[in-house]
Every structure is written in structure tokens, then in C-alpha cells.
């Protein structure tokens, strides 16, 4: 129970202190202004009484004392008029009566006053004052002016000031001059004066409260900010400490791509010091040498994917065949760079970069490619010779051969043909991966070039009774390397036929969309199972359903087709539903492909 109260006290301590403060201040100021108000009123009463006393002629007064009840006495009339005129002037101060009293044989009698004879409250002179306030007996004793507290007598409730008039020679009391204020009026005057200071005090207290509450809030939020800052600095220091020694090269970049932190491993990979790197843009530090176009493409891709789509970006020298150069150290690097966005409140505020030096891996990969290239190359000559020999045997009519021997020879020819295709595919892939393939764009009439490929493949459609339809927009000449792009058409068209049953329908469309030439090849064939779709463009991948239908495929055609389309500046994608059919699309830039120097070209696949 006690604990509960302590808790309540602690929680509301500010409110309580404030409440007590307001009450105490109100009380203090209330009292203060009340006392001040009373003082003012009493002073006013006293001033009027003194003024009236000073105006009275003492001789006339002494004379009147002996004729106390004589209303016709000239002195009475004069003094009465004199007080009436004072009363007239002081009425607006709330003073009800100004009057003179005589003390005779210890009793107090009224004489003239400020009321006009004949008026309703006129008191005839000589009347005894029966219930005087106690302060009057004090005055009679010590003959000093006095102001009473609130008292009641036979006439009502009053607060009064009394001033003695003394005989200057004897010091005897001649008369007492009084000024009265009715108590109701007195309170009204005091309270009237109290209202304004009380309101201002109250407003001042509210102001103090609001100011202190604001200051308190300010202090609290400053403390919170300091707290958060401390915590953030602590976390930052912890994170920096953690990543500074990690073997992975990690960098922190701001939204513009400038480095704000790099760990030791980054320094080692780039071969430069931290202070040379910090504050510089990653795109100034790592560049694609002598290829501004590629570099600009890279920057645009990073910006679009990271800042707009808020997704991570990867650049790999292994996939692109492009090495980067560090402009500070001059070091040439094969890298795998991953940039992930740092998102706060749905806004990309920076990035985390991981920069792995994969020079060694790329070297091994290039060695592997070189080996495949060499092996395929070496294999090609004997296999081609074999084909030539088989062809000679098949054409040789000098000695008769049985039909089963001829059948075997034909099968041998087909197998040899597939071997040649496989070796060509391997060669092409190793060439495209090594980046050695040259791209030589020339103006091409795409529609008639594709029609030529279709007529070369007509035998495939005829064999399976498949219907082919071709539609196209009016396509202007487009600058592409058709030696390469033609391989893409051949692959996709032959796949559409291969992976569709007899009597299937194959539709080819070429049209322009968003500054791109799009080719759409659809079939209503076997389709690609959903589980296989994500692997489709991988090297050697073949979907289960079609692997049984055509056991001779290599799974290299689509991989190569996609690589060719991308190196020509386009994209490839597809949609497929198993047992319903597939549609493949690929785009080529209407403005044409960019030329690329290279030492080799591609071998025709099919
Ligand atoms: P290949 O035809 O030599 O197997 P590709 O790389 O051209 O190699 O094709 C890879 C695989 O993709 C094929 O084995 C097949 O499973 C699937 N595929 C490609 N085109 C189609 C298509 N039009 N319909 C159904 N499956 C297809």
C-alpha cells in the first residue's frame, strides 16, 4: 500500500509540487493583496478623518461642546455644512459618514456630521453613542488617531477611522472626528483591488508552469537525443570494431555512393590507405578502363536497381568478363562487388558494399575455358574428318552394302553430326565466357533474315506436320551482328519444333515496343514444368519432361542464346505452362548493338 503511494508520488511528483506551489503562491499573494487592499482603505479613512479634523475650528468646537444638543447653534450649522461639503467630495471613495463626537463624563455623544439636516439619515446632535467600538476607548485613553477593525454597533457594520482633536495647551481631548465606511462597501473595495492582482498572479503562475513544463520537456528531449546519440556512437564503434578485422572486404557508402567507412580488408584489396578512399565515390575509385560506355551503364544499373527498386546489386568480373581498375593504386582487379541498400523509413540512406578480389578464381575459370576451348578445338578436326569419311562411305557405290549396314552408317553420321554440334556449343560457350567474341554490328533487314532461317528449318516443321505462322511489324534496318543473333533465332525456333508434338502450332512475331525490337516465339507444345523454370538458362540444364522426348539435347543452346542477346544489348525471358506450351521473348535495341572487339567469332550451332 505504502509502496503504491510512493510510486504514485514519484510518478506525479511534478504535478504535486506544482499544485502545492500554486496553492502556496495563491495564498501568499492573496493575503498580500488583501492586506494591501485593507491598508489602502484604512489609510483612506484615516486621511479623510485627519483632513476633516484639520478643517475644524477648535474654538467653535469647544463652544459647541457646551451646547451639544442645540441644533440652531450657529457653530453647529456652520460645522455641519462644512462636513457636508467634505462628505460630498469623499462620497465616491465609499465613505458613508464624517462626524464629530464629544466625550462628556466618560460617555460619547454625537454632534455635527456630514448629513444634511432633514435628510433620511440625519442624526440630531446630542444623541449618545451606546455601542462604540472598543478601539474608541483606547483613543480616549491615549489620545492618538486610530483605525478600527470591522465592528457592529446600533447603526450597522463599519470600519472607521477616529482622530482626536486636542487642546494644544492642556492636551485635553476636545472632540473626536470619525469617518465611517460601511463594512459591505469596505469589503467590496478591498476585493475589487484584489481581483486584478490575483488574475495577474494566476496568469504568471500558469506562465511559469508552462515555461517550466516546456523547459522540462526540452531537457528531457535533449537527454533523449544525447542518449540516442551515445547509443548510436556506441553501436557504431561496436560495428566498426566488428567489421574492421573481418577478412571480408566491407565498405559503407552514403546514398551518393561515397565511401564513409572501409575495413582493413578493403585497403588490402585495393592496395591503398583508408584516408585515400574515404569521401570518394566508388565509381571514381573503381572504373572499367577505356570503356566509358560500359562504366556509365554500370552506374545507371546500380542507381536504378539500388535507389529506385531498393534491391541489391552484384557485379562480377566472372560473369561479365570485365576487370576493374583502382584509380588510386592503379591495381587491376577481377572483383565480385555486392552493394546492398541501407533503408531507413523506406528511404535508401546508404549502401553496404562487399568487395571480393576474385582475380584468382577468374584466372582459374579462364584456364578452364582455355582448356575447354583448346580441347573442343582439337576434337573438332578429327570429328570433322570422321564425318567426311562417313559421307564418302555413304556415297561409295563401288561395293554393295546391306540395308542394315547402310542404316548403321546413317546412324553413325547422325551421331557424328551431334558430336560436331556439341563441340561447337562448347567452343562457343568458352569463347563467349572468355569475352573474346567480337561483335560486329551491320545494318540488317531482320524480317527477311529471320524468314531465311525459317525456310531453312521448314523441313523440321514438315517432318512433324507443324504449322508455322509469322507476323511482323514494319521493322527498319537494325544494326546487329546477325552471325550471333541468327544463332539465337535458330535455337529458339528449333526448340519450339523439337519440344512440340506432331501437328503443333508455332507462331513467330516481331514487333517494336519502347525503342526495342521484340521477337516472340510461341508454341503449344510440351511446356516446361514449373519446378524447372528457374534453372532454364543454366548451362547443361534440361527439363525432365523433354529430356525423354529428345535425349540428344545438350542443354547449352538457351544459355548461349541468352548470353548472345545480352551481349547485343537485349534481354531474354519466357513463360511456359507444362502440357500447354511455351513463349520465349527476346529484345534487341532499336538503335542497334554496340560493337566489341574480339579475337574470335561464333561457330554455327544447328
Ligand atoms: P537443348 O535443346 O539442347 O536441350 P536448350 O538450352 O536449347 O538445350 O534447352 C534447354 C532445355 O529447355 C531443353 O532441354 C528443354 O527441356 C527446355 N526447353 C527449351 N525450349 C523449350 C520449349 N519451346 N518447350 C519446352 N521446353 C523447352
Q: What confidence tens digit (pLDDT) does each residue in 149-173 have? A: 999 999 899 999 999 999 888 888 9
Q: Is the CB of 605 under 6 A from ligand 1?
A: no
With cut-offs at 50, 70 and 90, classify the pLDDT of residue 213.
confident
Cell output for 273: 590507405
Alpha-carbon distances, residue 421 vs 37, 270, 549 (angstroms):
117, 43, 19
Q: Report the Cα 483 to chain-centroid distance in Å.
A: 53
18 pLDDT higher than 90: no
With cut-offs at 50, 70 and 90, classify the pLDDT of residue 604.
low
Q: Is the CB of 527 under 6 A from ligand 1?
A: yes
Ligand 1 atom with minimal separation from the 527 CA: 25
In the chain, the percentage of residues whose pLDDT exceeds 70 is 96
> What is the pLDDT, as a whole number, of residue 109?
93
Burial annotation 398-407 (CB, 10 A radius, 16+ → b, else e): eeeeeeeeee
Q: Report the Cα 600 to chain-centroid distance in Å.
A: 53
For residue 512, the CA-to-ligand 1 centroid distance in Å is: 26
Q: Enumerate the β-bridge partners of residue 575.
A: 583
Q: Which DSSP symbol is given to 280? A: S
Listed in sequence order, the residues at least 6 apart from 327 whose beta carbon sits closer than 8 Å to its beta carbon are 284, 285, 286, 287
Ligand 1 atom with minimal separation from the 496 CA: 23
- Atom 21 (ligand 1) nearest CA: 495
Probe residue for ligand 1, chosen from 528, 540, 547, 560 as the CB with the greatest number of ligand atoms within 8 Å? 528
What is the arrangement of strands in the sheet containing 250-254, beginning at the earlier edge strand? Answer: 259-262, 250-254, 347-357, 335-344, 313-316
Q: Is the CB of 504 under 6 A from ligand 1?
A: no
With cut-offs at 50, 70 and 90, classify the pLDDT of residue 15.
low
Probe residue for ligand 1, chosen from 488, 495, 529 as the CB with the greatest number of ligand atoms within 8 Å? 495
- Atom 9 (ligand 1) nearest CA: 555
Residues 487, 493: Cα–Cα separation, whole Å: 10
Alpha-carbon distances, residue 472 vs 476, 510, 581 (angstroms):
11, 5, 21
With cut-offs at 50, 70 and 90, classify the pLDDT of residue 519.
very high
> What is the pLDDT, as a whole number, of residue 522?
97
Given a contact cutoff of 8 angstroms between Cβ atoms, the answer to whether 507 and 469 are in contact is: yes
Q: Crossing angle for the helix pair 403-434 and 359-395, nearest 10 degrees? A: 160
Q: Is the CB of 496 under 6 A from ligand 1?
A: yes
Probe residue for ligand 1, chosen from 491, 505, 558 as the CB with the greatest number of ligand atoms within 8 Å? 558
> What is the pLDDT, as a whole number, of residue 31?
78
Q: Which DSSP symbol is given to 604? A: P
Ligand 1 atom with minimal separation from the 545 CA: 16
Number of other CB atoms surrounding residue 202 within 10 Å: 14
With cut-offs at 50, 70 and 90, classify the pLDDT of residue 441.
very high
Q: Is the CB of 581 under 6 A from ligand 1?
A: no
Ligand 1 atom with minimal separation from the 558 CA: 6
Q: Is the CB of 582 under 6 A from ligand 1?
A: yes
For residue 159, the CA-to-ligand 1 centroid distance in Å is: 117
For residue 198, the CA-to-ligand 1 centroid distance in Å is: 94
More confident of the two residues 272 and 304 = 272
With cut-offs at 50, 70 and 90, classify the pLDDT of residue 27.
confident
Q: Is the CB of 561 under 6 A from ligand 1?
A: no
Q: Is the CB of 499 under 6 A from ligand 1?
A: yes
> What is the pLDDT, as a whole number, of residue 291?
66
Given a contact cutoff of 8 angstroms between Cβ atoms, the answer to whether 175 and 111 are in contact is: yes
Average pLDDT, the chain: 87
For residue 487, the CA-to-ligand 1 centroid distance in Å is: 15
Q: Which DSSP symbol is given to 115? A: S
> What is the pLDDT, as a whole number, of residue 493?
96
Given a contact cutoff of 8 angstroms between Cβ atoms, the answer to whether 220 and 194 are in contact is: no
Cell output for 103: 466625550
For residue 550, the CA-to-ligand 1 centroid distance in Å is: 9
For residue 539, the CA-to-ligand 1 centroid distance in Å is: 11
For residue 255, the CA-to-ligand 1 centroid distance in Å is: 42
Listed in sequence order, the residues at least 6 apart from 601 whose beta carbon sits closer than 8 Å to its beta carbon are 437, 438, 483
Cell output for 535: 534453372
For residue 478, the CA-to-ligand 1 centroid distance in Å is: 28
Probe residue for ligand 1, chosen from 425, 531, 553, 575 as the CB with the greatest number of ligand atoms within 8 Å? 553
For residue 495, the CA-to-ligand 1 centroid distance in Å is: 6
For residue 555, the CA-to-ligand 1 centroid distance in Å is: 7
12 pLDDT higher than 70: no
Q: Which of 599, 538, 585, 590 is nearest to 569 (CA)?
A: 590
Residues 100, 64: Cα–Cα separation, whole Å: 11
Number of other CB atoms surrounding residue 259 within 10 Å: 20
Residues 256, 351: Cα–Cα separation, whole Å: 9
Amino acid at each position: 500500500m505504502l509502496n503504491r503511494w510512493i510510486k504514485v508520488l514519484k510518478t506525479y511528483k511534478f504535478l504535486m509540487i506544482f499544485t502545492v506551489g500554486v496553492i502556496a503562491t495563491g495564498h501568499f499573494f492573496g493575503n498580500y493583496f488583501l492586506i494591501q487592499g485593507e491598508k489602502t482603505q484604512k489609510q483612506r479613512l484615516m486621511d479623510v478623518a485627519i483632513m476633516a479634523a484639520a478643517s475644524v475650528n477648535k474654538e467653535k468646537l469647544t463652544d459647541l461642546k457646551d451646547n451639544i444638543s442645540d441644533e440652531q447653534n450657529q457653530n453647529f450649522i456652520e460645522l455641519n455644512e462644512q462636513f457636508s461639503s467634505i462628505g460630498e467630495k469623499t462620497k465616491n471613495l465609499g465613505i458613508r459618514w464624517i462626524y464629530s463626537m464629544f466625550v462628556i463624563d466618560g460617555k460619547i455623544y454625537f454632534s455635527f456630521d456630514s448629513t444634511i439636516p432633514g435628510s433620511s439619515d440625519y442624526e440630531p446632535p446630542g444623541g449618545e453613542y451606546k455601542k462604540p467600538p472598543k478601539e474608541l476607548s483606547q483613543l480616549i485613553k491615549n489620545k492618538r488617531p486610530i483605525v478600527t477593525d470591522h465592528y457592529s454597533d446600533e447603526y450597522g457594520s463599519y470600519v472607521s477611522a477616529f482622530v482626536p482633536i486636542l487642546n494644544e495647551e492642556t492636551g485635553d481631548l476636545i472632540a473626536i472626528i470619525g469617518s465611517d465606511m460601511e463594512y459591505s462597501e469596505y469589503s467590496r473595495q478591498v476585493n475589487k483591488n484584489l481581483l486584478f492582482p490575483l488574475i495577474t498572479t494566476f496568469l504568471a503562475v500558469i506562465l511559469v508552469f508552462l515555461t517550466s513544463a516546456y523547459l522540462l520537456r526540452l531537457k528531457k528531449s535533449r537527454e533523449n537525443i544525447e542518449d540516442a546519440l551515445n547509443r548510436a556512437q556506441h553501436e557504431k564503434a561496436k560495428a566498426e570494431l566488428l567489421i574492421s578485422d573481418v577478412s571480408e572486404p566491407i565498405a559503407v557508402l552514403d546514398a551518393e555512393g561515397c565511401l564513409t567507412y572501409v575495413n582493413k580488408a578493403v585497403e588490402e584489396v585495393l592496395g591503398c590507405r583508408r584516408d585515400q578512399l574515404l569521401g570518394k565515390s566508388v565509381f571514381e575509385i573503381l572504373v572499367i578502363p577505356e570503356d566509358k560506355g560500359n562504366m556509365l551503364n554500370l552506374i545507371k544499373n546500380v542507381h536504378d536497381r539500388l535507389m529506385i527498386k531498393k534491391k541489391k546489386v552484384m557485379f562480377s568480373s566472372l560473369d561479365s568478363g570485365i576487370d576493374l581498375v583502382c584509380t588510386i593504386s592503379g591495381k587491376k582487379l577481377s572483383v565480385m562487388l555486392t552493394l546492398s541498400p541501407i533503408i531507413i523509413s523506406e528511404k535508401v540512406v546508404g549502401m553496404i558494399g562487399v568487395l571480393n578480389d576474385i582475380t584468382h578464381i577468374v584466372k582459374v575459370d579462364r584456364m578452364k575455358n582455355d582448356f575447354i576451348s583448346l580441347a573442343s578445338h582439337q576434337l573438332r578436326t578429327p570429328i570433322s574428318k570422321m564425318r567426311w569419311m562417313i559421307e564418302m562411305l555413304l556415297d561409295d557405290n563401288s561395293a554393295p552394302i546391306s540395308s542394315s549396314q547402310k542404316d548403321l552408317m546413317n546412324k553413325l553420321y547422325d551421331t557424328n553430326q551431334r558430336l560436331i554440334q556439341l563441340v561447337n556449343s562448347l567452343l562457343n560457350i568458352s569463347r563467349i565466357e572468355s569475352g573474346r567474341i567480337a561483335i560486329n554490328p551491320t545494318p540488317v533487314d531482320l524480317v527477311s533474315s529471320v524468314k531465311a532461317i525459317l525456310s531453312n528449318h521448314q523441313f523440321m516443321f514438315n517432318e512433324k506436320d507443324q504449322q508455322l505462322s509469322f507476323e511482323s511489324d514494319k521493322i527498319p534496318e537494325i544494326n546487329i551482328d546477325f552471325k550471333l543473333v541468327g544463332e539465337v533465332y535458330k535455337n529458339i525456333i528449333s526448340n519450339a519444333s523439337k519440344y512440340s508434338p506432331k501437328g503443333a502450332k508455332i507462331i513467330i512475331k516481331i514487333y517494336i515496343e519502347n525503342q526495342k525490337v521484340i521477337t516472340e516465339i510461341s508454341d503449344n507444345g510440351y511446356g516446361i514444368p514449373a519446378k524447372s523454370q528457374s534453372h532454364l538458362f543454366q548451362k547443361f540444364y534440361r527439363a525432365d519432361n523433354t529430356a525423354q522426348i529428345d535425349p540428344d539435347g545438350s542443354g547449352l543452346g538457351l544459355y548461349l542464346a541468352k548470353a548472345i542477346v545480352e551481349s547485343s544489348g537485349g534481354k531474354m525471358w519466357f513463360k511456359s505452362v507444362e502440357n500447354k506450351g511455351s513463349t520465349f521473348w527476346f529484345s534487341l535495341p532499336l538503335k542497334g548493338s554496340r560493337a566489341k572487339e574480339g579475337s574470335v567469332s561464333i561457330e554455327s550451332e544447328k
